[in-house]
Chains A and B, each alone.
Chain A
Amino acid sequence: MLMEVKNQLKVSLLAIKYAVMREMLNKVTFITNIIFMILNNASFIIQWLILFSLKDNVGGYSFKQVMLLWGIASATYGFAHFFFKKAFSLSDTINNGKLDVYLVQPKNVLLSAICTDVDVSAIGDMLYGYIMLFVYGFNISSFLLFTLFVICGGLIITCVSVILNSLSFWFQKSDIIADTGNSLMTNIATYPEGIFKGVVKILLFTLIPVGIANYLPVKIISEFNIYLFVIVIGVTILFIMLAFIIFNKGLKKYSSSNLMIARI
């Protein structure tokens, strides 16, 4: 079992390595993509400087905590889009019969399908996350917790995307639902939870797990709490299991479209 997991990880990492090498063929474009993505994210600092000039705290967050929230949101997004880029267009892979190539490989279909490409600008997102950690205040424990939460958050948003995109096995045009879910998670993730009230707040910690992927990590890094820590890890594992179960259930309904494609 462990050997199998190790082999699968090795294959997925190799696929990512080759995808990065492909992207690095044009080094200028590669580097500008990363630098401009950092600048792109940094432009939102202006928004928060203005909001904090109007009020001492926004949604119960200090300026530094909002920067940390931005760091976690940006790095989790970057982690998910760098390692699992294709998870965000999985419905296209399913609808157009592009899963065929992965079905004939003696490896896990889901992992093979979502790890075949990388988003270079996502490196900029990840770097920006760590820059924001420095703005918040760097120490070894916050660095380790931040890294762990970036991985957990990245896995959660990837799993949510896989679950929503897997609806394509059952329904046509479900890509709209997946796109909406993804943009909902991304847009809300950078705003403090305190501005939302009532049912929306409950949704953020359940159906739309932005609270688990972003808000709880900020709380834990600000003030360590073992219960919240266990919740983040537990929910991450739960989402991973759900993603695999739903994808595999849907896979049984998949039928090939006889599409011939060449993978270079």
Chain B
Amino acid sequence: MKKYWFIFKTEVMSNMQYILNVLAGFIGYFIMLFIFFNLWKYIYNEPNQIINGYTMSQMIWYVIITEILWSVLSGRKYCAKIIDDVRGGNIAYNVNKPYNYIGYCLATHLGSCFIRAIMYIVLGMFIGLIFLGNFPSLNIFSILAVLITGILATVISTLLLTFIGLFSFIIEDANPFYWVYSKLILVLGTIFPIEYFPTFIQPILKFSPIYVVSYGPAHLFVNFNWAEFINIIIFQFIYIIIAYLMCSLVYKIGVKRLNVNGG
């Protein structure tokens, strides 16, 4: 565990050198929030109207949180790196190191998310307050609880992206799988809460990764209750175990198929 903590710390320190790059990403985040702010303002006839259990303010805060989770993850870059490592053979440098490759990926990626997370949370809260002028009713304990679900959501997303990336061992380019995964998370989990979907789909979505990687933390933020927090945490731990086993399995199969041409 110590070595993964060290990898995590190294990655955090290395990312602190590139804070300006993170600031550049803010512009994209702001654009998306601006679009959704306008969209929901148009959809809601008046701010106090309730649609599917959400006021306009709750809907926008929901999107602010899901967009933070999505932007902090920077999944496209991370997934593309694993795909390139597998396709280009760079993964050979990691195979013979005295660490578990999945653990290494998790530690490096969480390290790179750390600084981004702090900056996006501050910016997201600031934009929310400017756009809406209010803040959901949360106390220090509920804020901590939301943070914990947010961290676990990032762990699950990282493992699922690692799984997609490692899939390049089996088909050469796993990028298309990433596009579909990312769009499913974006459309079914980031833009709308589960309550917006037809009632027959809602139970399916509550068992899908969408519940644990985006809906859970964001819904807790806009409408916190402890019973739901415990429910989300249980689901998140189950997902972490499943996702980790899936990654280990595909890695095991992949490494057996690995051919490295020296050079």
Contacts and interface: CB of A to CB of B under 8 A. Distances in A.
Interface in A170-208: 176, 179-180, 183-184, 187-188, 191, 194-197, 200
A200 B35 CA distance: 11
Contact of B176 (A37, A50, A195): A37
B38 A195 contact: yes
Q: Chain A at the B interface: mostly helix, strand, loop or mixed?
A: helix
Interface in A12-48: 26, 28-29, 32-33, 35-37, 39-40, 43-44, 46-47
A51 interface: yes
B196 A50 contact: yes
B1 interface: no
A36 B179 contact: yes
Contact of A43 (B38, B172, B175, B183): B183
Interface in B171-191: 171-173, 175-177, 179-180, 183-184, 186-188, 191
A246 interface: no
Interface string B151-193: 0000000000000000000011101110110011011100110
A40 B35 contact: no
Given A183-B31, A184-B31, A187-B31, A26 B42 contact: no
Nearest to A176: B24
A59 B42 contact: yes
A50 B192 contact: yes
Contact of B187 (A28, A33, A44, A191): A44
A191 B31 contact: no
B192 A47 contact: yes
Given A37-B179, A194-B42, A26 B187 contact: no
Contacts of A40: 176, 179-180, 183
A253 interface: no
A252 interface: no
A58 B183 contact: no
A180 B42 contact: no
Interface in A111-148: 121
A6 interface: no
A50 B197 contact: yes
Interface string B23-55: 010011001100100110111000000010000
Contacts of A263: none
Given A26-B172, A32-B171, A194-B42, A179 B24 contact: yes
A37 B182 CA distance: 12
A3 interface: no
Contact of A39 (B39, B173, B180): B180
A36 B177 contact: yes
The 5 closest A-B pairs by CB, nearest first: A36-B176, A43-B183, A40-B179, A195-B42, A176-B24
Interface of B: 24, 27-28, 31-32, 35, 38-39, 41-43, 51, 171-173, 175-177, 179-180, 183-184, 186-188, 191-192, 196-197
Interface of A: 26, 28-29, 32-33, 35-37, 39-40, 43-44, 46-47, 50-51, 54-55, 58-59, 121, 176, 179-180, 183-184, 187-188, 191, 194-197, 200
14 contacts: A26-B172, A26-B173, A32-B173, A33-B173, A43-B180, A43-B183, A51-B39, A176-B27, A179-B24, A180-B28, A187-B31, A194-B42, A195-B39, A197-B38
